[in-house]
Amino acid sequence: MAEADDSTQAEDAAGNRIHQPVLLERTLELLAPAIEKPGAVVVDGTLGMGGHSSAMLSRFPELTLVGLDRDTEALAIAGERLAPFGDRVKLVHTEYDGIESALDSLGIPEIDGILFDLGVSSLQLDRVERGFSYSKDAPLDMRMDGTAGVTAETVLASYSEAELRRIFYQYGEEKLAPRYARRIVERREATPLVRSGQLVDLLIDATPAALQRAGHPAKRVFQALRIEVNGELASLEKALPASLDRIALGGRIVVLAYQSLEDRLVKREFAARSKSTAPAGLPVELPEHRPEFSLLVRGAELASDEEKDLNPRAKPVRLRAAERIRRHA
């Protein structure tokens, strides 16, 4: 998963680009103590094309992997890539907040590890027709699950100016949200916005020249639209506690986030689970008040300069990880 475009990767036999997963070795290092044992189960909550999953299955030969993804195209590609691992792989078509029902359907009460590699996937960025990239003209779709939900075109055509302003502020942290929302509403009265190129041209025209040097005017708006279309933050907000509740004693979770809104949710949930719940002033901390999790990295860990040079998708990544140290009450 990633938030930036990059096309300097090899292709597999089917013509799909094979991307180097972000922070792969660090992710494996953090998960290893929990998933290298016989019978371990790990969940890849954002399967994508299966890069992290393939590496985990290869590195840990007795591991069973449950892969979740809402994107049917990604599931098909990952399924083919992971087929050599046979029944060690269980794939489920679902958003990551469907982890509990997915595990229940497989008869798996608890897991030893879980990985979330958030954001838009390499596959989605590379498929121009999906409309995720502001650098290439395409239909304004942006659905991660192309079989369900509203498109970005529908959002732009039907949301009020106030609603557009809200999502640009809330999900894109865009300071020019009022200006952009107003221009979109004015434009759609004359001409429907149906392609990404139309939206990009509108945003560039609406951006003062002095501010265009600070970054591409479309970046934050496209992020906001994608998050709104796919309900990403709401899904993550549900998925994190559900996932932590299913982790066994000694199990571990690793989350790779690519923008501040995701990372704040992860930071908040990890902080809550890694603090004592003992009332202030209690002379002795009772066992039931001890933290459930211990943080494995200090703050958010960044990719090295070397990895950023080799893999541009790693530039914005923020890694957080935790281990269960007390059973869930």
- HSE (CB half, 13 Å, CA atoms) of 126? 20
- With the C-alpha atoms ordered 156, 171, 20, 80, is the resulting torsion angle positive or negative? negative
Which among 240, 246, 249, 290 is positioned nearest to 34, based on CA atoms? 249
**Hey, what amino acid is at 307?**
E
Is residue 52 marked as binding? yes
Joined tokens for residue 295: 């943080």
* Residue 156 structure tokens: 């732009």
CA–CA separation, 212 vs 76, rounded Å? Answer: 39
Which tokens sit at 208?
């003062």
- Asked if residue 51 belongs to a known ligand binding site, the reply is yes
As a whole number of angstroms, the distance between CA 147 and CA 71 comes to 9
What token pair was written down for 6?
């990059």
Nearest to 248 by CA among 302, 185, 195, 292: 292
- Cα 241 from chain centroid (whole Å): 15
Determine if residue 170 is labeled as part of a ligand binding site: no
Please check if 117 is assigned to a binding site: yes
For helices 51-59 and 24-35, the axis angle rounded to 10 degrees is 50
50 has binding-site annotation: yes
- 3-class DSSP state for residue 232? helix
Annotated binding site: 50-52, 69, 96, 117, 124
Annotated binding site for S-adenosyl-L-methionine: 50-52, 69, 96, 117, 124
